[in-house]
Amino acid sequence: MSCENPTTDPDALMNRRPKFDKAKTCIKCKIAEGNIVIRHAVYCKDCFFPLLKTKFKRSLEPFVNRLPNGPRKKALNPSGNLLIGFSGGLGSTVLLDLVHKSYFSHRKPRESGGEVEAVPEQQETGAGDRYRDPRQERVWKKAAVCYVEVAGAFPGMKDRTEDIQRIVESYDDFEFVPLKIEDAFNGEWWESVDQCPSSSLLNFDISNEELPFFQSDSTRLTPLERLHTYLSRLPSPTAIPSTIRTLTRLLLLYTAHSTSSSHLLLGTSLTSLSISLIASVAMGGGFGVSEEVQEEWIPPRSGIEGRKEVGVRVVRPLRDVVNKECATWAWWNGLTVVGQETVPGFKQTIGGLTKDFIIGLERDYPSTVSAIARTCGKLTPKDEAGGQCVMCQRPAQRGMEIWKQRISVRSLADLEEAPSGIPIGTQENQPSLSPYLCYACHATMTSKSSRANPSSTNGPKLPTSTSDSKTVSNLVPLPVWVTARLFGPADKVQAEDPSREGSGDALRDGEVWRNVELGREEMRTAVKDFLLDQDE
């Protein structure tokens, strides 16, 4: 192998090209002087606007119809309504604006102070104009904007629902659907999205790698308290933002479903997409890497008789647009960006480290960000999925447990027999969650960090748990959709095929597994720091 010394292998060096090629003139109209540089290309203000709109439409319109277009372009005809996931961040704000300008109205948003009057649409180039015929009906008849407020999870964090509402309602035609992150633990919310409520609640034991679960007889905790308990017992700081993302995504998907929406649009920019792809790889989510870009979601069977489930297509129309372009659009269109609150301790999580890394790279090596997204776009899962993860509802691999046991010997019992994939550590007849999870979700719930959770002196805090009983400090409630999958309306375990081979009976065989509860210690870098005793 080459030593990758940069003076050897030209590929080993990242190309630090000059910021833009040659002239300062707009490369599109070739007349005006440029105002902005996007990925080495210079554009003037007048050319920038239609360019962004074109990119937006190109990433969205081929996916509006159920089936991909043939050689002749067909009219846009989605099978359901539109739901826009809105986080308050830069991408969401720009997305909302672009969707409204492109498919809803020619009126200026009230927020900017202009009068509500029709303004002529800007001159555009490109085939998108064919859909601009004002005599035609709108592409989507109904559109809603869903916002999930996260502030409840972190005491002291500001609730932004009202600010967000103002932004959304400044556009005509958008219905505002506010949710709270704790709705993930709320049976009433579950019912409101047309799902069958479970008659039981489930808790699982997070201290045991197998994650055995039990029926809970307590309904005393509020959804918010359940959320706090969940978050506070996760084994690493990284798990918290990762979990918030998963919960938010499922809340949006079920809302799309309940509003009969065929499409869920998210404002993920190319920059954000590259960040989430790398972070996902770093957390073991390689199997689902293509789902990060675009996915088709069908709700698992609801148990409601005679109901046909319609899928939701998740599209990211800004996936070819970098943060800088979004910021420029927002600034030149006078858009107000409410912004997102930072999860406390985010900077030291895998998500936060990845974000800093990518944003730092993007400034000096702009092509790296698009290389990441492009590379991941060429990948596909190697094996067939073995089922659906009950937590994130993405395809899950088979044989994850066998792989884990093989890689890391965690008990002497492992040495006696060949790893069999039979979950050890659970008692007889004890069902466990682990076979129903994908690798990444399992890692989120079990992979420990040696870092203590950060404590901040001011600003929002991490939640602390509310226990049912003081002795049972490792029990954690499950989000409503997980309970529904594992415990249907018939009150029996009726999960779909677990993500590993073997019947349910295999769950009951097992050996008692001794596990020493570990405290969290700081891990220092040198080898010597791992020694608890000097053994010279």
Interface positions, 147-166, toward another protein (CB under 8 A): none
Binding status of residue 22 toward another protein by CB under 8 A: no
Of the candidate spans 250-258, 464-472, 483-491, 520-528, the one that interacts with another protein by CB under 8 A turns out to be 520-528
* CB proximity list for 216: less than 8 A, separation 6 or greater: 200, 201, 202, 203, 468, 475, 477
Site for another protein contains 407 (CB under 8 A): yes
The reply on whether position 406 binds another protein by CB under 8 A is yes
CB of 249 to another protein, least distance (A): 15
Q: Which stretch binds another protein (CB under 8 A): 293-301, 364-372, 423-431, 501-509?
A: 364-372
Among 69, 191, 304, 331, binds another protein (CB under 8 A): 331
- Say which amino acid occupies 472: V
For residues 203 and 390, what is the distance between their CA atoms, to the nearest angstrom? 14
Our CB check for another protein shows the closer of 82 and 343 to be 343
When the beta carbons of 372 and 495 are compared against another protein, the nearer one is 372
Identify whether the C-beta of residue 122 lies closer than 8 Å to the C-beta of residue 50: yes
Residues linked to residue 107 through DSSP beta bridges, in sequence order: 118
C-alpha to C-alpha distances, 44 to 23, 25, 109, 273, nearest whole angstrom:
12, 8, 24, 26
147: β partners? 86, 178
How far is residue 67's CA from residue 62's CA, in Å, rounded to a whole number? 9
Gap between the Cα atoms of 393 and 257, Å rounded: 14
Cα separations in angstroms, 427 against 32, 73, 432: 74, 59, 10
Does position 353 interact with another protein (CB under 8 A)? The reply is: yes
454 binds another protein (CB under 8 A): no
Residue 459 binds to another protein (criterion: CB under 8 A): no
Residues 413-432 that bind another protein (CB under 8 A): 415, 419
Burial of 275: CB neighbours in 10 Å, binned 0-12, 13-18, 19+: buried
Structure tokens, 334:
């006078």
**Residue 4 engages another protein in binding (rule: CB under 8 A):** yes
Residue 351 CA to residue 240 CA, distance in Å, equals 10
Per-residue interface string for the shown chain with another protein, residues 95-134, x marking contact by CB under 8 A: ----------------------------------------
Residue 141 or 357: the one with the smaller Cβ distance to another protein is 357
Q: How far apart are CA 164 and CA 168, in angstroms?
A: 6
Helix axes 366-377, 350-364, angle to 10 degrees: 120
Q: Does 531 bind another protein (CB under 8 A)?
A: yes
Taking CB under 8 A as the rule, does residue 368 contact another protein?
yes
CB of 333 to another protein, least distance (A): 12
| Contact status: 516 vs another protein (CB under 8 A) | yes
Instruction: Tell which residue, 292, 311, 300, has the closest CA to residue 381.
Output: 292
- Contact criterion met (CB below 8 Å) for 246 and 437: no
Under the binding rule (CB under 8 A), the answer on residue 36 touching another protein is: yes
Q: Which stretch binds another protein (CB under 8 A): 252-260, 352-360, 467-475, 479-487?
A: 352-360
Which are the contacts of 50, defined by CB distance < 8 A and separation ≥ 6? 122, 123, 124, 125, 126
Q: Give the position of tokens 């730092």.
A: 360
Contact status: 342 vs another protein (CB under 8 A): yes
Considering only residues 220 to 279 of the shown chain, the ones binding another protein according to CB under 8 A are: 236-238, 271, 277-278
User: According to CB under 8 A, which one of 294, 411, 474, 494 is a site residue for another protein?
Assistant: 411
Stretch that binds another protein, among 30-38, 52-60, 120-128, 218-226 (CB under 8 A): 30-38
Q: Is 490 in the site for another protein (CB under 8 A)?
A: no
CA distances from 120 to 107, 117, 290, 491 (A): 9, 10, 39, 59
CB of 468 to another protein, least distance (A): 27
Q: Quote the least distance from Cβ 393 to another protein, whole Å.
A: 18
- Minimum CB separation of residue 13 from another protein in Å reads 5
Q: Which of 37, 41, 151, 310 is in the footprint of another protein by CB under 8 A?
A: 37
Tell whether residue 518 is a contact of another protein (CB under 8 A): yes
Taking CB under 8 A as the rule, which mask of x and - marks residues 274-313 in contact with another protein?
A: ---xx-xxxxxxxx-x------------------------
For residue 498, the number of C-alpha atoms closer than 13 Å in the C-beta half-sphere is: 22
Q: How many residues bind another protein (CB under 8 A)?
A: 112
* Dihedral sign, Cα of residue 367, residue 369, residue 374, residue 380: positive
3-class SS at 2? coil
Note whether 412 binds another protein by CB under 8 A. Answer: yes
Pick the piece of the chain touching another protein (CB under 8 A) from 54-62, 252-260, 435-443, 475-483.
435-443
